[in-house]
Amino acid sequence: MSALMQTYARLPVTFSHGEGVYLFDTDGRRYLDGIAGIAVNGLGHAHPAVTAAIRAQADKLVHTSNLYRIAAQEQLGTALTQVADMENCFFGNSGAEANEAAIKLARLYGHTRGIKKPAIVVLEGAFHGRTLATLSATGNRKIQAGFEPLVSGFVRAPRNDIEALRHIAANNPDVVAFLAEPIQGESGVQVLDPLYLQAAREICSKEEWLFMLDEVQTGNGRTGTYFACQGLDLVPDVVTTAKGLGNGVPIGACLARGTAAQVFGAGQHGSTFGGNPLACAAGLAVINTIRQDGLQANAIAMGQLITDTLRAECAGAKQLVEIRGKGLMLGIELRKDCGELVQRAMDAGLLINVAGGNTIRLLPPLVINAQEARDLAIGVAELIRNFD
């Protein structure tokens, strides 16, 4: 422990292995995983298709370099842009890097339009990562405090307030892009109003701003479509993703279409590891499995089952405010902060997470079945009923 910087307040448990929606700790205790490594293990733990893909790729090549063509990267690029209805993509290793690529792309786009200090509209409550640019884009002072000076070039807007966005458009000629999560995960599963997102899309088109969505958490099938925007009939200029794309192998992507797809030229962005053969082999296995096993439809059905079960089991529970979210990205808001429920859940063999202080966040693997979904909902409901 002491050899690690204290960047995390870690729970006192170590897992030795996993299978599907279950994790096993070093004492042999089994936990139903309601958080999936924070929306990463969409296919659950030790999924055979991902394991086989990683193994086969590791047998041949783990890394070459983006100095050369990489077959697995080209295949994943084709598969990902196809499922996303986008044109091209850049691969990095994380969500923050995917967003860094989007931020750089937007700035470069601004400069090509003669805007010397391009700015990006970002929302209150947003989370975009922990690098300097992405924490500056993040709408949470706790994440920024101590790291000033922040990166400039972000304009903060209240979420779901289209008038505020119109006001920015009328008064700030330096804006070149809008960046938002369709559902804000870290701030407590805050679902943006689809009408707001559509209006924002229209403003972006009119003002020639790039409409950029951060789907690092919502993407890769979790909300029932490959990207959440596809379920909202929204066509972004740029969309970023990461978490669920590699099922645990680090990978992130920034996808673009239209004008945005033509912005970067050779030498303007890069990554040593980004899109390496191993990560891309895992990503390809993930996309193929999501499609072949109908996991997007399963996310909708199991999300509904969990929500219905929670509602029934929590009827009359004093602490419950509301259950919100989409597919297998669910937030259960309580009347008070509930961080202590994480440990109580663990004692009951459940892994959950609390976001935004008072909201239980559930992000179970997309492979969860009806029995497991019911077990998760019943276990969480019991925690809520006993929370006073």
CB of 139 to ligand PLP, least distance (A): 11
Give the Cα separation of 11 and 351 in Å (integer): 11
Q: Cβ-closest residue to ligand PLP?
A: 95
Q: Which is nearer to ligand PLP, 278 or 305 (CB)?
A: 278
176-188 burial, b if ≥16 CB within 10 A, otherwise e? bbbbbbbbbbbbb
The single-letter code of the amino acid at 35 is I
Is 220 among the residues that bind ligand PLP (CB under 6 A)? Answer: no
Q: Which of 185, 325, 327, 365 binds ligand PLP (CB under 6 A)?
A: 185
With contacts defined by CB under 6 A, name the span among 55-63, 180-188, 350-358, 362-370 that binds ligand PLP: 180-188
Least distance from ligand PLP to the Cβ atom of residue 365, Å: 16
Q: How far apart are CA 37 and CA 39, in angstroms?
A: 6
Residues 113-132 that bind ligand PLP (CB under 6 A): 127-129
Contact 176, 110 (CB under 8 A): yes
| Beta carbon nearer to ligand PLP, 99 or 296 | 99
Radius of gyration of the chain (CA): 21
Closer Cβ to ligand PLP, 200 or 377, answer by number: 200
Instruction: Tell me how far CA of residue 233 lies from CA of 63, 133, 229, in angstroms.
Output: 37, 29, 6
Residues numbered 352 to 371 that lie near ligand PLP (CB under 6 A) are none
Return the range that interacts with ligand PLP (CB under 6 A); candidates 67-75, 213-221, 265-273, 358-366: 213-221
State the number of binding residues for ligand PLP (CB under 6 A).
15
Query: Which residues are tagged catalytic?
Result: 127, 214, 243
Smallest gap from Cβ 135 to ligand PLP, in A, equals 10
Could you identify the residue written with the tokens 């279950």? 22
Options 105, 135, 216, 320; binder of ligand PLP; rule CB under 6 A:
216
Instruction: Provide the minimum distance between the beta carbon of 136 and ligand PLP in the complex, in angstroms, as a whole number.
Output: 13
Stretch that binds ligand PLP, among 161-169, 210-218, 276-284, 372-380 (CB under 6 A): 210-218
Burial code (b: 16+ CB inside 10 Å, e: under 16) for 213-229 equals: bbbbbbbbbbbbbbbbb
Instruction: Name the nearest CA neighbour of 139 among 182, 184, 169.
Output: 184
Q: Which residues contact 319 (CB under 8 A, 6 or more apart)?
A: 334, 335, 336, 338, 384, 387, 388
CB 350, min distance to ligand PLP, A: 21
- 189 is a site residue for ligand PLP (CB under 6 A): no
Residues of span 223-262 touching ligand PLP by CB under 6 A: 242-243
Nearer to ligand PLP, 363 or 381 (CB): 363
Q: Is 214 in the site for ligand PLP (CB under 6 A)?
A: yes
Q: How far is the CB of 366 from ligand PLP (least distance, A)?
A: 16
> Position 215: which residue type?
E
Which run of H or E residues covers position 144? helix 141-144
Q: Tokens 């920034």 label which residue?
A: 254
**Residue among 151, 146, 223 at smallest CA distance from 184:** 223
In the complex with ligand PLP, which residue's Cβ is closer, 134 or 309?
A: 134
Sign, CA torsion 363/366/372/374: positive
181 binds ligand PLP (CB under 6 A): yes
Residues 81-110 as x/- pattern, contact with ligand PLP by CB under 6 A: -------------xxx--x-----------
Which of 57, 73, 217, 298 is the binder for ligand PLP (CB under 6 A)?
217
| Residue whose pair of structure tokens reads 């892009």 in the numeric block | 177
Whole-number Å distance between alpha carbons of 146 and 6: 15
Structure tokens at 50: 């991902």
Q: Does 35 interact with ligand PLP (rule: CB under 6 A)?
A: no
CA distance 302 to 305: 5
The site for ligand PLP (CB under 6 A) is made up of: 94-96, 99, 127-129, 181, 185-186, 214, 216-217, 242-243
